[in-house]
Amino acid sequence: MSADKLHHTITGKVVAIADGDTLTVLDDAKVQHKIRLAGIDAPEKRQAFGTKAREALAAKVFGKAVRIDVIDVDRYRREGGRIYLGDRFVNMEMVRDGFAWRYVRSGKCHSQAPPSPSGAAEAPTS
């Protein structure tokens, strides 16, 4: 995919929440887009606090109109993007609220911090 097609904006209504960092948006043309929140990672559904992370994301955006600045497509064909609800940056809200942690990717190396035993996500210290 060319860089100009890779970086684009989607606007639509959030119609499904898979987990704390993946949602589905229905755009104005009635096309569904599976979106992974770029730059963050949240526990999976079956992991500790996975349900809480999913519920937190749902409370923020489910059924609401959002804008997604798509910056990448992953190996599962999910579009990776920055999610905005008005002027709110949802990706970072999830980190700030302790339901996800910042996920930095450089080449094949990944820097991330797992949730602490208390359930709050901790930012990498490096």
Q: Which residues are catalytic?
A: 36, 44, 78
In a domain, 114, yes or no: no
Structure tokens at 26: 């229905």
b/e code 46-56 from CB counts within 10 Å (16+ = b): eeebbebbbeb
Residue 3: predicted pLDDT = 52
In a domain, 120, yes or no: no
**Residue 30 backbone class (left: φ over 0; alpha: ψ -120 to 50; beta: rest):** left
Q: Under a CB-based contact definition with an 8 Å cutoff, are residues 25 and 13 in contact?
A: yes
Q: How confident is the model at residue 5 (pLDDT cuts 50, 70, 90)?
A: low
* Rg of the chain taking only CA atoms, in angstroms: 14
Residue 78 is part of which domain span?
Answer: 3-107
- CATH code of the domain covering residue 101: 2.40.50.90
In a domain, 117, yes or no: no
Q: Number of structural domains, the chain?
A: 1
Q: Is the pLDDT of residue 17 over 80?
A: yes
- pTM, full prediction: 0.78
Structure tokens at 35: 């979106």
Q: How do residues 42-67 score in pLDDT, each as one tens digit?
A: 998 888 899 999 999 999 999 999 99
Q: How do residues 91-124 score in pLDDT, each as one tens digit?
A: 999 999 999 999 876 443 333 444 444 444 444 4
- Top-confidence residue, 74 or 93: 93
- Top-confidence residue, 6 or 55: 55
Structure tokens at 94: 């999830």
